[in-house]
Amino acid sequence: ETSRIAQPIGSPLDRFIKNNQDQFAYASGELSQILRDIALASKVVNREVNKAGLIDIMGAVGSQNMAGDDQQKLDVLANIRFTRALAKGGEVCALVSEESDSFVDLSNEGKYVIAIDPLDGSSNIDVNVSIGTIFSVYRRKSPAGTPIQQEDILQRGADQVAAGYVLYGSSTMLVYTTGHGVNGFTYDPTLGEYFLSHPNMHMPEDGRIYSVNEGSANSFSKPVKDYIQYCKDQKYTARYIGSLVADFHRNMLKGGVYIYPATAKDPDGKLRLIYECNALAFIAEQAGGKATNGQMRILDITPGTLHQRTAFYVGSKNMVDKSGSFS
Ligand code: AHG
Ligand code: MN
Ligand code: MN
Ligand code: MN
Cα–Cα distance, 263 to 241 (Å, whole number): 18
Examine the pLDDT at 101 and tell me if it is beyond 90. yes
Q: What pLDDT score was predicted for residue 1?
A: 42
- Whether residue 214 lies in the annotated active site: no
* 3-class secondary-structure state, position 275: helix
121 lines ligand 1 (CB under 6 A): yes
For residue 222, list its beta bridge partners: none
255 lines ligand 1 (CB under 6 A): no
Pocket test for ligand 1, best of 124, 271, 275, 280 (most atoms within 8 A of CB): 271
Alpha helices per DSSP H over the chain: 13-20, 28-50, 73-89, 150-153, 222-233, 244-254, 278-286, 317-323
- The tens digit of pLDDT for each residue in 289-318 reads 999 999 999 999 999 999 999 999 999 999
Tell which atom from ligand 1 comes closest to the C-alpha of 65.
Answer: 4
User: Which range among 142-146, 194-198, 278-282 shows the weakest confidence by mean pLDDT?
Assistant: 142-146
Query: Checking phi first, is residue 209 left (phi over 0); if not, alpha (psi -120 to 50) or beta?
Result: beta
What ranges make up the beta strands (E) of the chain?
60-64, 70-72, 92-97, 104-105, 112-120, 131-139, 160-168, 172-177, 182-188, 193-198, 209-211, 237-238, 257-260, 290-292, 312-315
Q: In the chain, pLDDT over 90 holds for what percent of residues?
A: 87
The residue type of 297 is R
Catalytic residue among 14, 48, 69, 226: 69
Examine the pLDDT at 91 and tell me if it is beyond 80. yes
Catalytic residue among 37, 91, 120, 285: 120
Tell which atom from ligand 1 comes closest to the C-alpha of 243.
Answer: 9
| 8 Å CB contact between 82 and 119 | no
Q: What pLDDT score was predicted for residue 55?
A: 78
- The tens digit of pLDDT for each residue in 244-274 reads 999 999 999 999 999 999 998 999 999 999 9
Examine the pLDDT at 276 and tell me if it is beyond 60. yes
Cα–Cα distance, 155 to 308 (Å, whole number): 12
Examine the pLDDT at 148 and tell me if it is beyond 90. yes
Cα–Cα distance, 315 to 256 (Å, whole number): 6
Examine the pLDDT at 8 and tell me if it is beyond 90. no
Strand 312-315 to 290-292 pairing: antiparallel
| 8 Å CB contact between 307 and 66 | yes
**C-alpha to C-alpha distances, 64 to 60, 76, 268, 274, nearest whole angstrom:** 9, 11, 20, 19
Please report which ligand is nearest the Cα atom of 124: 1
Ligand 4 centroid to Cα of residue 121, in Å, is 6
Q: What pLDDT score was predicted for residue 271?
A: 98
- The tens digit of pLDDT for each residue in 278-293 reads 999 999 999 999 999 9
Atom 3 in ligand 1: which residue has the minimum CA distance? 120
User: Which range among 17-31, 90-104, 255-269 shows the weakest confidence by mean pLDDT?
Assistant: 17-31
Closest CA to 66 of 103, 93, 41, 92: 103
pLDDT band at 181 (very low <50, low <70, confident <90, very high): very high
Examine the pLDDT at 2 and tell me if it is beyond 70. no
**26 known member of a binding site:** no
Examine the pLDDT at 5 and tell me if it is beyond 60. no
Is the model more confident about 326 or about 5?
Answer: 326
CB atoms within 10 A of CB 234: 10
Q: What pLDDT score was predicted for residue 54?
A: 82
pTM over 0.90: yes
Mean pLDDT of 119-139: 96
Q: Collect all residues with Cβ–Cβ distance below 8 Å to 100 and sequence separation of at least 6.
A: 66, 79, 83
Catalytic residue among 117, 152, 247, 285: 117
Cα–Cα distance, 35 to 47 (Å, whole number): 19
Atom 16 in ligand 1: which residue has the minimum CA distance? 242
Mean pLDDT of 229-241: 98
**120 known member of a binding site:** yes
69 lines ligand 1 (CB under 6 A): yes
Mean pLDDT of all residues in the chain?
A: 94
Examine the pLDDT at 63 and tell me if it is beyond 80. yes
Ligand 1 centroid to Cα of residue 243, in Å, is 6
Q: Collect all residues with Cβ–Cβ distance below 8 Å to 110 and sequence separation of at least 6.
A: 90, 91, 92, 93, 94, 140, 144
Strand 112-120 to 104-105 pairing: unpaired
117 lines ligand 1 (CB under 6 A): yes
199 lines ligand 1 (CB under 6 A): no
State ipTM.
0.98
DSSP conformational letter for 153: H
Mean pLDDT of 179-193: 96
Catalytic residue among 75, 91, 152, 285: 75
**200 known member of a binding site:** no
Examine the pLDDT at 21 and tell me if it is beyond 50. yes
Mean pLDDT of 6-29: 80
- Whether residue 233 lies in the annotated active site: no
